[in-house]
């Protein structure tokens, strides 16, 4: 498979779509990112690495970080996590309070904000310095010591994160947070403010395509069963309330972020990351989704 040629064809194919979406502006630090940016990187399990466009430029990974935080939580407490957060699609906005109130403080899944706050709480309780632990984890997975928190983005989110603070307070009121809401929110905002490139994200997601084992140096990040389950959660919950559309069009487990990134995996074959900041009505990268759809169409390969 000539993946480099495929990525270049995809880059050409999606160009007419620019200008049809909208950059996230409810987080002021993201509002100024040029909507015309596009990068894509693909890492095959046999060691091939391919990229196109702005694949080496770092951006705010936002909710894609929820997958890696989930990995860490599962590695610490295993299936006990599922006593505090569910595994079903929400069908509501990713920052909705309504469902959380109706279901007595148990978030529907770890890919919506309420569920990710519970995961952040687990990390705070398990690690002495959870923020540094998460940063070190991402540096290892991506094989890049240059991965950092964008403190400007983190501060912007903290200053405007009233809805997330309300979610954390509601979780605390139901006994589903061990730590104080402000501390949980601080960790959550920093994880969302991780700045990474498509190249780094494709490498970081490699273990999810490889049965839980990272790229060089080879290390078991998750068991085979855990990797399968994380992929399943991404498949059913990773694209907010557009997961059905993404499964229909793309057919890969994936996770998006409002910074315009989407990462996905074809188990047994490759991991891939794409970045284009203009979002659709669901908060997913409009061009990124089209690029991944074109990828599975051109290769004739998906999980279905």
Q: Respond yes or no: is residue 206 known to be catalytic.
A: no
Three-state SS at 60: strand
Separation of alpha carbons 197 and 209, rounded Å: 19
Segment holding 132, helix H or strand E: helix 130-142
Residues with Cβ within 8 Å of residue 79, at least 6 apart in sequence: none
Catalytic residue among 188, 214, 230, 272: 188
Catalytic residue among 119, 258, 272, 287: 258
Among residues 50, 52, 10, 40, the alpha carbon closest in space to that of 299 is found at: 10
Rg (CA), the chain: 18
Q: Respond yes or no: is residue 188 known to be catalytic.
A: yes
Separation of alpha carbons 145 and 148, rounded Å: 8
CB 254 within 8 A of CB 242: no
Three-state SS at 227: helix
Q: Is 231 left (phi over 0), alpha (psi -120 to 50) or beta?
A: alpha
Catalytic residue among 240, 250, 256, 272: 240
Separation of alpha carbons 98 and 91, rounded Å: 11
Catalytic residue among 66, 137, 250, 276: 66
- The alpha-helical segments, DSSP class H, found in 78-175 are 98-102, 113-126, 130-142, 151-160, 162-173
CB 30 within 8 A of CB 259: yes
Catalytic residue among 14, 23, 37, 63: 63
Q: Respond yes or no: is residue 240 known to be catalytic.
A: yes
Q: Respond yes or no: is residue 66 known to be catalytic.
A: yes
CB hemisphere CA count around 56 (13 angstroms)? 2
CB 294 within 8 A of CB 303: no
Separation of alpha carbons 60 and 88, rounded Å: 26
Q: List residues with catalytic annotation.
A: 63, 66, 188, 240, 258
């Amino acid at each position: 498979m000539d993946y480099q040629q495929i990525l270049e064809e995809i880059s050409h194919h999606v160009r007419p779509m620019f200008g049809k979406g909208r950059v996230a502006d409810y987080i002021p630090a993201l509002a100024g990112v040029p909507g015309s940016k596009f990068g894509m990187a693909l890492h095959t399990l046999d060691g091939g690495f391919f990229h196109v466009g702005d694949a080496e430029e770092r951006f705010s990974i936002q909710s894609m970080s929820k997958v890696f935080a989930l990995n860490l939580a599962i590695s610490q407490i295993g299936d006990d996590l599922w006593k505090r957060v569910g595994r079903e699609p929400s069908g509501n906005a990713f920052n909705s309070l309504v469902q959380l109130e109706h279901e007595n403080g148990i978030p529907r899944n770890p890919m919506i904000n309420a569920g990710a706050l519970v995961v952040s709480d687990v990390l705070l309780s398990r690690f002495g310095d959870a923020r540094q632990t998460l940063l070190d984890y991402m540096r290892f997975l991506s094989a890049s010591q240059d991965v950092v928190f964008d403190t400007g983005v983190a501060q912007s989110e903290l200053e405007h994160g009233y809805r997330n603070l309300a979610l954390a307070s509601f979780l605390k009121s139901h006994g589903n947070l061990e730590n104080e809401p402000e501390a949980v929110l601080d960790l959550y905002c920093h994880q969302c403010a991780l700045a990474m490139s498509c190249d780094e994200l494709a490498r970081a997601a490699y273990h999810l395509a490889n049965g839980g084992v990272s790229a060089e140096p080879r290390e078991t990040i998750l068991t085979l069963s855990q990797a399968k389950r994380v992929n399943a959660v991404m498949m059913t919950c990773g694209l907010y309330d557009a997961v059905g559309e993404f499964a229909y069009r793309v057919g890969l487990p994936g996770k998006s972020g409002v910074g315009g990134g989407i990462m996905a995996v074809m188990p047994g074959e490759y991991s891939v990351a794409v970045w284009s900041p203009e979002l659709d009505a669901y908060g997913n990268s409009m061009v990124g989704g089209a690029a991944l759809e074109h990828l599975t169409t051109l290769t004739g390969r998906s999980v279905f």
